[in-house]
Structures are given as structure tokens and as C-alpha cells.
Amino acid sequence: MKTTYREATRAALRDALQRDDRVFLMGEDVGRYGGSFAVSLGLLEEFGPERIRDTPLSESGFVGAGIGAALGGMRPIVEIMTVNFSLLALDQIINNAATLLHMSGGQFNVPIVIRMTTGAGRQLGAQHSHSLEGWYAHIPGLRILAPATLADARGMLWTALQDPDPVLIFEHGSLYNVAGELDDDAGAVDIDRAAVLRQGDDLTLITYGGTLPMVLEAAEQLAADGIEADVIDLRTLRPLDGAAILASVGRTHRAVVVDEGWRSGSISAEIAARISEGAFFDLDAPVERVCSLEVPVPYAKHLEQAALPSVERVVAAARRAAGSS
């Protein structure tokens, strides 16, 4: 069937609400307004205010309430409007959700799913254009998901709800309008392994989330010039599927990591380090990284585009890695 990323995400929410009475959605404007990105549109009318709960404008408050509900046996899905607002709930996410299992000696799981929109490229200014999923991937006790495809937008949520520990799902804002075909029987998907979406022997392109479409486009351009690339969609940033990364790099001997986060201290730095640790003697060239420039994301369109990863920058990095630039 033809659908969009937004509709696939809504279908995942509807499916979860239908399958498990313990599941409910809470967050700012998720009910009457239908969600800031129209993901939950119509769910209030279908499931009622007990299960689609509009909250006050207090991220620390409603994330804390979600943690309490999870501890009480419910399966809350907490929506934070955009990733920058999650900074207002850092104490709840990092000091409570991520640590309670450890600090209770294994007695208290926190089965909460927290969804939020991430990423730049839509002229929303510096405060609403963060890509902070790499920050959260630093934290033990959290699982970090970054669905980039329609199948993952549809299928990751239910699998995440089966996890006894906190799961954060980062949905890139540029993907909501992406349309494509999705199997009529699409359902839960694996969230433990990366996916190889294109195969090639010349180099490995590694990415996730909103940069996946540009990496696939870059791979097409490279193929036209005789450079065939593996394209790995990481899908899960914590825990990383290191085996998939090392298997590909061990075969292609070259790697380019594409990450919309800033270069310093980024998830791309972690991936490059793991490649160096696990596949150093397989490498025929240094690991290349394509990241956002180290500036607050500009509002002006031409400056924003200049600051972000692009197809042209990915192709140039791949050519350097392949020794053809």
C-alpha cells in the first residue's frame, strides 16, 4: 500500500493501542490538536482522553509521570515535541529512567517509550534543529532507535514496547512526508541489528535516520562512476550493531560515516573508533566522516544547507576514501 512515514508512525501507534490496554500516549498537543506533526491525528476520537492524554507544558513533569506509570505496570508512550525540549527532562530520562533498574538491584524495570522529533533542514532555527540522539546513545540503560524507513516507522514501536527498559525513538522531521510502498501486513521489526540497504564491494557508507535518503542518493551517483557501496542503516544507535559494521568494512576496506550531529564527540566518532579498534588492518584508507558544521544551525536556508551534510559532501568523502578524488 502507498503510505507516508507520518501515516506509518500513526498506524504503529494505533496498532499498539489496540493490542495492549496498558498502552497510552501522552504529551503536548497529542490529543485535540493531533500532534505537532499530525502523527496522532484522529487517535483521541478513536481511543478517548484516558489513552490519548494532552499534558501541561512541562517536559520534566510529564516524562516523570510516564516513568511513574511504567513503574506501576502501564506501557506509556511519551511524546516530546522536538528533541531540544527533551533537555528539560534530562534529569528524568538520565537520572531516573536509565538508572532505576541498576539502583534498585534489578527490582524495578522502567518500560517506557519516549518519542521525539529530531534533526534540521526545515528552517526552524538553532533551538529547534538539534540532532542530539548521539548524546543519548552515550547513556547506559537506554535503547536508542532511529527509524529511517517506512517499515521501521511502522514496526519499531511495538518491538520497543516489549522492552522492559526505557527506549527513546528519534523521528527525523524531514521524513514525515516521505511516501512509498509498505506491505499491507507490515508489523513489528527487529531492533537489534543494522540493515544493509545496498550492497557493493568498494566502500561502506554508514548512516541512520534523516540522512539515509541522501546517502542512498550519493550511492547511486557513485555507482554511475563505477564505485559500488554498501549502505548500512544503523537503525539502533544504542546498542550499536558493531558486527554488521565490521563485517562490511572488513570486506570493502573503506568507510564513510554520515551523521547530522556535530563532528566533535558525535556518534560518528564512536563508529570511527570502533572501526579502528576492530578493523584497523582491513582498512585501505582513513575512515571519512560527514557531519554538520560546528555552528548553531542557521535559520537562513542557504546557510542551513551549507552547515548540514549533503549528497555532494558524501560523494566527495566517498571519492577520497576510494582514492578517486
Q: Where are the beta strands (DSSP E) in the chain?
A: 2-4, 23-27, 52-54, 75-82, 113-118, 143-145, 167-172, 179-181, 195-198, 203-207, 229-233, 236-238, 255-262, 288-292
Q: Which of 7, 28, 59, 288 is catalytic?
A: 59
Active site residue 288: no
Angle (CA) 113 116 120, round 5°: 155
Q: Which of 7, 79, 128, 304 is catalytic?
A: 128
* Length of the chain (residues): 325
The candidate with the shortest Cα–Cα distance to 24, out of 45, 43, 3, is 43
The candidate with the shortest Cα–Cα distance to 270, out of 93, 148, 133, 146, is 133
The candidate with the shortest Cα–Cα distance to 240, out of 216, 266, 201, is 266
- Distance CA(135)–CA(261), nearest Å, equals 9
Active site residue 7: no
Indicate the residue type of 121: G
Catalytically active residues, by annotation: 59, 128
